[in-house]
Chains A and B, each alone.
Chain A
Amino acid sequence: MIEFFNMGGYAMFVWPSYAISALVLWLNWYLPRNQHRKLLRQLQSRHGSQQQ
């Protein structure tokens, strides 16, 4: 197990590579999703106020 995390002495290059990839891919998934939800909520409240 320790051997796995050590990556043959290259841990400080291998793991940051994977970490930053995961972070950037997550952001690209999360940000538009979040924005989409916000827009939907905005539109809903606007629509609601028009009907009243």
Chain B
Amino acid sequence: MFLWFHKFGSPPHFYRIAGKWIPWLSGLFLVLVTAGLFGGLIAAPPDYQQGDSYRIMFVHVPSAWMSMLVYVAMAVCGIIIMVWRMKLAEIVLISSAPIGASFTFLALVTGSLWGKPMWGTYWVWDARLTSELILLFLYLGIIGLHNAIEDKRVAARAVAILAIVGAVNVPIIHFSVEWWNTLHQGPTVTKFDKPSIYWSMLLPLLLMALSFQVYYVLALFQQCRAELLRRERNSKWVEEL
């Protein structure tokens, strides 16, 4: 196990493996997203209250979930960087940042486009929306900090600390709708009793969520390969490519 971990963590090995996985991940993503879009846009019935506008959910909710999941992944990388000083974790952390920022941006924009017809406003400063906006700033802060420091090994440690500390925001986002009065409604799928969503609406939602997870790995691998090449341009294994 440890040996495998060690091998997977070596840059040339990871570079090769990631390259092999990319076409498969692309195919899987396309299948899942097609099924999810068909289910969400065509097969699922309109909602009893919100009509067809609720279909924004199928991109909004997976984006919002991913915005938090990617951040957790980055915080875990941060701990690995600080404790084990693993090079690959540095690359995964910084490569995740633009992808996570994109998901957060999408969650905010699609939420805003959903809020206008349903709530009557594009934006309010309630706890859920504000904490998600803070998440976007955390992502941008991580990207900015990494760019500002020349020495990438030092930059990785600074960014790791920011990622770990910022992780406090993730449970705040999730529980904001329960701890405080908000305009945003409570959770639908992750509450402890049965999810209160009809199965023909839930299924495409889960398909879209799964496809977004596959997409994250796909985009991450691509970003990591570019980052690896940039950093290790003078090393022997790159010369051999």
Which residues in A have some Cβ–Cβ distance to B below 8 Å?
A: 4, 7-10, 13-14, 16-18, 20-21, 24-25, 27-29, 32-33, 35-36, 39-40, 43, 47
Contact = CB atoms under 8 A, between A and B. Distances in A.
Given A9-B51, A47-B239, A17 B229 contact: no
A27 B102 CA distance: 10
Interface stretch (B53-61, B80-88, B169-177): B53-61
B53 A14 contact: yes
Contact of A21 (B53, B63, B223, B238): B63
Name A's interface SS: helix
A38 to B, nearest CB: 9
Interface string B84-122: 000000000001001100100110011001101100000
B229 A40 contact: yes
Interface stretch (B143-151, B192-200, B214-222): B214-222
Contact of A28 (B113, B219, B229, B230): B219
Interface in B108-159: 109-110, 113-114, 116-117
B51 A10 contact: yes
Nearest to B222: A32
